[in-house]
Structure formats: structure tokens, C-alpha cells
Chains A and B, each alone.
Chain A
């Protein structure tokens, strides 16, 4: 598969503050890359730039034609029913049918006609995923999509995302600050600090993964992030 993302020397300033300082990154087609970093390291900014929300940058980046995003908050339109939220903006398709298929995939088949405000946080986030996937993206950007969910819902969402990724095979750039989550899901873990990439680890483990399998890698990634792994000590 051809490369999905190619970033060279990306620089982004907010006023006098440099958020991205000459960042290089490649993601191949169908690859699942997790982007780790402390808050303020520029990982969300990078995602926004790739999503086309922040055109004011130096350097070059290439992304495929079809890019979808799932944000930390589901950002559903509360005044449109769930299926309309999924299908709005699609052209030349039967929106209802497409939306129902996508909702079935995220296990919300019975909720097509619900109002978004009646959904739980996890359900709303699954609608947001369905909305991103229904556009058949070649690149899926996930900006801490589980950050606002409770621990049990997160576990269920990990399985769901892995399964959806296997079926649709988009390249995924997954921003998180949860090392376990990154190691469970990603082919490659990239650690960012001060606007550039400071470490990379390939996660060559069979899926579905168990936490015990990556204990060693976990402490290495944590030390990249400047955290001592107490469990490994």
C-alpha cells in the first residue's frame, strides 16, 4: 500500500510559542500509529493540521483525499437524529441505509432515530465513530476519542476500534496519553515532545493483545515520556 501520510519539516507557531518544530512523520496505508506525548507537546495540533483545520503552517505534508476525524467530544448535532448525524454531508448515496449499516457496525442498530442527547457518552462516541467511518476514510484521525469515557466503556471501545480498523483498514493516527491504550492497539507507537518526534517503537505482538505481553515495552515508552515505571521496578 502507498503511504497515507508524509510529513516533512512541519513547523507551527502560536504567536511566539513554537508548537511543532520541524516534525517528520510517515504513516503507511492501513497502518495504525499511536501518537503519545504529554499535554502541550503538540500532538493535537498535529492532528488538527492534518484534518485541514489549521492551514497556517510551514513545511510540507501530504494526506489522502478522504480524511475523517473523531474528536474527544462526539460533537454530534443535537437537533438532528442519530442517523442524520451519521449521513449528513455524504453525497450520492441513500443516507438512511448507509447510516443504518454503519450504526449496526458500532452496535447501535436500534438507535437510528434517537436524539443524540438521549445517548450515553459511550454511545455518542460510537455514533461519532460511525460518522467518521461512513465516509470510507483512507486516513482516520482519532483525537483522544476515549478520553472522556469511563474505564469500562473504554475497554469496550478498544475492541470496537480494533475490529473496525481490521475491517476497513484505514491508516489511523491515534492521539492518546494512555500508554496501555496505545500499546494495545497500535502497530507503531510514536512519542512526541516539544514539537518533534523523540522516540518510536514498533509493536510486533499478535492481536488481540494482552497487557502482560507488553510490560517491557511499556516501561520503555514510559521512560521516553519521562515517567518511571513503578510496576517494572
Chain B
């Protein structure tokens, strides 16, 4: 199985997030919404306290890792003087544009090769070959092709998005239940109705899995891409801070990356709940 195919959800930083079981078609009981177990917060809070103690006592020097209090104060200052907001906007728009390009390309290729046999014959082999390339390893080529401006960063994000989306959309379309297609034929659906009401809706769950993976990969690609000669964005903020040994700002940048990843993931989940509401609860 490839790293892009329907695997566990990935968080922004490429770490495997807590895998969420896919809801079965017919869940036995009503979904229970319990209060979060507060005891689960004990160890994270403990770790942060330990970190603070280590910093305050000098065990952890600030040029290696700033203390939580310093990080918090720097974050506040960066927000107030507008640097963080600017960086946030630049990085977000890079992801948005790169994602849009990748989604259009991956979506269009997935549709064509999913819906037409000839499309599959012609498109699937090269895409399957290309996806085995580690796309983050393409940076040297992208720099040669696109220079060191915005383009290689966008291309990297787009490549990270297009492949998982293509694979899952294609697989989702191919998984359509033949029994439903047969019923649709007997009922006299036109080809358009079969695609619109049978094939595409049945591909939606798998496509949403692809979307979540694509977004995770998009943030990861951005983080790597922003190491290339960035003059704005969160990556620039982090690299600049490194030169001045400002580990507090580095940590703030990392936290913003994480927060952005979590936010987009939550958006997809909300979309999932809305679009898949036909699944029995």
C-alpha cells in the first residue's frame, strides 16, 4: 500500500494522527457524545510544567529551547506587531493556491480515468509510476524549472495534493457497487443520471479520505517548500529566527503550522459529517 492510499489520517507534520475508525454503514447505537476525559490532560500539562521548570533552573538553555512562558510572550508580541499575521496570510495563501491547482489537476485526472476505460488505460500507468517518486525529493528539479520564487513552493504543494486526490477519487469511482449500477440501468437512468446519482456519490467517502490526506500533505509540502529562499511566510519567520538563535520564535512558528493543519483537518471532518449524513447513525 502506498503512503498516499487510504491509510490513516495524517496530521500536518506528517505524523500519524490518532486513527479514526471509519463509521460503519449501520452504526449499532446512537453516537455517544461524552464529556472529554479530563484526566487525559494530566500528562501534557505535566510535561509543559517540567519544560518550564527545566528552563527556569537553567537546565534547558534558551538558545536550545526557549521556555513556554517566553514562547507565549513572543507569540503575543508577534501577533501585536503584525508579523505573525502577515506570515500566516502568506503561508495560508500558498497552501490555498497550491491546493487549488493540485485539486483541479488530481480531480480532473481522477474523473477521466475513473469514468472512462480509455482514460484509465492512458492516464493510470504514468500517474501510478510518478506517484512512486517521493515528491519532496523533487525540490532540486523544481528549483531548476521554476527558480527560487513562489512557483516551486506552489508546485510542491500542488504535487502533494494531486496524487492522493487522484488515487482515492479513482479508487472510489471504481468501487461503485455493480448491483446499484444494474438497478439504475433497469430503471432507465441515462448515462448522466448513472454518473450523477450512482457513481459519483458512491465515490464521495473515499474521495474525502483522499482530501484529508491531501491537506496533510499540502501543509507538509509547504513547510519543506518554505525552506527554499523564503522572504515571507511562516517558514521565513522560522529561518530568520534561527539565525538569531530565537528558539522562542521557532517554536511559535511550529505551533502555528500545527494549528493550521488541525484547523483544515477539522474543516474536512465537518464537511464529511455534512456530506455523509445519509449514513445511518
Binding site for B on A (CB under 8 A): 51-53, 67-69, 71, 73, 75, 77-80, 88-89, 115-118, 131, 135
Contacts and interface: CB of A to CB of B under 8 A. Distances in A.
Contacts of A115: 277-280
Interface in B152-206: 179-180, 182-189, 193, 197-198, 201-202, 204
11 contacts: A71-B183, A75-B182, A75-B183, A79-B204, A80-B201, A89-B188, A115-B279, A117-B278, A117-B279, A117-B280, A135-B187
Q: Is the interface of B mostly helix, strand, loop or mixed?
A: helix
B26 interface: yes
A135 B187 CA distance: 8
B27 to A, nearest CB: 10
Contact of A78 (B25, B185, B187, B188): B25
Given A80-B197, A88-B193, A117-B280, A68 B186 contact: yes
Contacts, number: 55
Given A88-B193, A117-B279, A118-B280, A77 B180 contact: yes
Contacts of B193: 88-89
A75 B202 contact: no
Counting from the closest, the 8 A-B pairs by CB-CB distance are A117-B280, A75-B183, A79-B201, A89-B187, A115-B278, A89-B189, A79-B278, A69-B186
Contact of A89 (B180, B184, B201, B278): B184
Interface in B249-281: 277-280
Contacts of B180: 75, 77
Contacts of A51: 186
Interface of B: 25-26, 179-180, 182-189, 193, 197-198, 201-202, 204, 277-280
Contacts of B182: 53, 75
A67 B186 CA distance: 8
Contact of B179 (A52, A71, A79, A88): A71
A68 B185 CA distance: 11
